[in-house]
Amino acid sequence: MTTGIDRISFYTSRYCLDLKDLAAARGVDWNKYSIGIGQEIMGIPPPDEDIVTMAASAAKPIIDEVGVEGIDLVLFATESSIDQSKSAGLFVHGLLGLPSRCRVVELKQACYSGTIALRMAAMMVAASPTSKALVLCSDIARYDLGSPGEPTQGCGAVAMLVTAKPSLLTLDPEYGAHTEDVMDFWRPNYSEEAFVDGKYSTRIYLNSAAESWRQYAELTGRSLSDFARCCYHIPFTNMAAKAHDRLLKESGIREDRKEITAAQVGESLGYNRMTGNSYSASLYEGLACLLDTATESLDNKRIGFFSYGSGSVGEFFSGVVTPGYRDHLYTDRHQTLLESRTAVTVQQYEDIFNLSVPSDGWDYSFTEYQTGDFRLAGMQAHKRMYEAVS
């Protein structure tokens, strides 16, 4: 039974901050952000945008195109959860008018949860091939103002439709996984910002990639040259490049690693450079970018994936691109979205950063900013009130 990704749609906020402005405000050499970290712009979610509105806006083009029929599972992956009890996916279920015969849950393991959501969805569709599953990955990356993590913030959501006859990518069954109980990055329930041991987190990420790859390679007998392209979890684009370099080194490749990395990974990084980290969505934002922008056709080509979630769980897996995939992409929509954002100043970014959703139980209507198809309209008696944007 083949199962995999039938549609992939990406959404990010309508506001952004040019990291040149942040570098100037923080007294940092711009080259550190653009060359050292590999980021140019970060997505800024306005006060009436959250993980629900971003995920619903990501999924809307898929629903508009294929309809809701047969979708009987929604898996919502996030580490920016808005409720300890109710799944964010239920709000999306309501906003999109999904069928009542539909199971909805939220999954968490840092940035890895989107991958287990995708693989669980594929297994459930394999067991019931007429079913379709909607996987939603949506996150807002937040670190303290002025911290080393600040230029790697961002936001975004990816929606993927998983079916038994996928138009984009068939998942291979094999995987390599590496799990380790570590404190490289975490966010206690009382904190709106993540805590991170930055340098340590990059070492753990690389080690997790190497261990997962070693296991996958042993199981499958494949080598890195069997992949036309590789996509990585992208906390910042140079992390993905470093990870591929590490796998090449582990595979005994001594020469031209920089060029090989540019060829195998480069085309997946463009969107992330313009949005920043979207945690659970970032690997799949990379896949959307690759499918949208690869200059040569990837028909029948195998793609390698490394998913990493701090704390930590890593998984290396793969899939084969469906011939004709280019007819089923939302490339124009993605590119228009990225090109038409409104730039904010550093002061506006800090003002937005310092706002939080009121928690006193009073009724509030939120000012309307530019959003996607849905917005967080306000709060009533501790309930988030969402609405479609006309």
Residue ranges in contact with ligand CAA by CB under 6 A: 29, 31-32, 35-37, 111, 148-149, 152, 184-185, 196, 198-199, 201-202, 205, 233, 235-236, 239, 277, 279, 308, 310
Is 382 among the residues known to form the active site? no
User: Given the complex with ligand CAA, which of 91 and 279 has the nearer CB atom?
Assistant: 279
Burial zone of 216 (CB within 10 Å; 0-12 exposed, 13-18 middle, 19+ buried) = buried
Strands (E), the chain: 4-11, 15-18, 41-44, 71-77, 103-107, 132-141, 154-163, 169-179, 185-186, 195-196, 229-232, 302-309, 313-321, 342-343, 364-365, 374-380, 383-388
Active site residue 16: no
Q: What angle do CA 319, 38, 349 make, to 5 degrees?
A: 110
Smallest distance, ligand CAA to C-beta of residue 256, A: 18
- Which one of 102, 111, 155, 231 is the catalytic residue? 111
Q: Which two tokens stand for residue 380?
A: 């009533």
Nearer to ligand CAA, 141 or 161 (CB): 141
- Tell the burial category of 29 from Cβ atoms under 10 Å away from its Cβ (0-12, 13-18, 19+): exposed
Enumerate residues 6+ apart whose C-beta is below 8 A from 44: 13, 15, 16, 17, 155, 344, 349, 352
Shortest spacing between CB 206 and ligand CAA, in angstroms = 9
Residue placing its CB nearer to ligand CAA in the complex, 114 or 235: 235
Residue 152 CB, shortest distance to ligand CAA, in Å, is 5
Catalytic residue (choose from 93, 233, 244, 334): 233
Nearer to ligand CAA, 48 or 211 (CB): 211
The pair of structure tokens assigned to 167 is 């138009």
The distance of closest approach from Cβ of residue 273 to ligand CAA in the complex, given in angstroms and rounded to an integer, is: 14
In the complex, least distance from residue 145 CB atom to ligand CAA, rounded to whole angstroms? 14
Would you say 161 or 234 has its CB closer to ligand CAA?
Answer: 234
Q: Which of 40, 49, 79, 211 is catalytic?
A: 79
79 is catalytic: yes
Cα 65 to Cα 7, 8, 60: the distances in Å are 10, 12, 9
Of all residues in this chain, which one has the CB nearest to ligand CAA in the complex? 36
Catalytic positions: 79, 111, 233
